[in-house]
Structure 1
Amino acid sequence: MIVLRKLRGPHADLHSEIETIEMKNSCRAGGWQKLLSWYMAKRVATIVMLFAFQQFCGNYVFIVHTARILRKMGIPWDADRSTIIVAAVRIVGTLVSISIVDRVGRRTCLIASHAITLASLTTLGIFVYLAEAAPPENTIFSRLAWVPLFCLVLVMFGLHVGAHPVPFVLAAEYFPTSVRGQTFSVCYSSGMLFGFLVLQFYSPMLAALTQPGLYWFYAAVSTLAVAFTFIFVEETKGKNIG
């Protein structure tokens, strides 16, 4: 009431406006039952898929296993130092996302994010594959140890420009207020489940696919994410929420 009075002025009929707002909200009411409608279920599925792409392109894996990944690539790196670098890159990527998401749009951030991740992971996989196949006397790859580190930094930056934060934004903007609590809980819970599964499957997938194969798998997921975002994700920039 106080905020509306400041916005509308001292002579505005606030009671009528509040009644109108309450009536609209009551008409939209439906709670969990409304999620069964085709329109709402389709939008929930879209956001859930974005959370799946967020995790299955290696997001939490690179956050949690940074030092382990660097050691497997033959880069001697202190665990504390690598954690600091990853955290700093994540912060920079998030700040960039905050500064551009309202200017270029959510879809553009998602596409650019997964495109950066795709290019970096593909390069990383090729480098590791060639390094593992090189004979012991070949010192070229030891002199190029900065390449996988640079690719890893690009991956973390790219993920936090769009793939990591934007699904949370869209989970709020895709749905009306009357069901936002339910839809957000479904989408967020799915994201946490995907993150748990990716971390649990990291070692088995590494053993089955090899290190470069795992990176190419994550790159393939990013490829699917670019196509999915381009085809199915609706831009919400400048539109009424819900």
Structure 2
Amino acid sequence: MSIEGKFRFQMEDLPEQVLDLARAEIVIFKSVGNSDAFGVNVQLEAEARTVMAPDPDYPEEPPIDYRIAPVFFTEWWDVAQGDLRSRGLDALDGLGFEVDATRADQAPYVQSPAAVYQDSYAGLNRGTLTLRHRGAGVYDAQARGETEFRWTFAVEAVAPLARVVFRAGLTDDARAPSDAVAQEFERHFDPALFAVEWLRRGSDEHFWYDYVATPLGSGQ
């Protein structure tokens, strides 16, 4: 199934690429008991493309192949519980962030909420993200900016809320399903809008349980 949207991406010494999307999704995570905030990971992944270009270190040599497959993700974006718009699938409507790590009052003390992966991870020098709910748990996501490696990007994508994951904050508490975790989920989200289940993660020796809620009718 094709993903609606485009990923514009340019690395130093390479022409800008306008790429189709291979993946676009949003996951909300909460560690119960550790923090009142929710982690929100917006993941926008481009379809890989091979580009031939000269090696800037050896310009006299024949062009070489570069595999371009950037991924934008917001692994470190925390949203305060009071900022959620509702207990429904539109909980993230209108949310986003703006970061400028080049400002003296932010750098180097502010953790970049997002990064771009292309052979290595690059935090943001500056960037913005906005989410607008289209309906049924599906969002218009727009992200743009520049990374610490001077890569530039601009992404427009249609991204569903793929799942909401709650987990007990303490490792020992997470080793079995917990009514407290399920009740915390129901405090913040309407369970009638989700299919919920406990999923065991990890290895036989080191494991934990996640309370995973998948939106009903999200158009995935």
Same fold (TM over 0.5): no
TM-score range, shorter chain: under 0.3
Greater share of strand residues, 1 or 2?
2
Q: TM-score, normalised by structure 2?
A: 0.26
Greater share of helix residues, 1 or 2?
1
Q: TM-score, normalised by structure 1?
A: 0.24
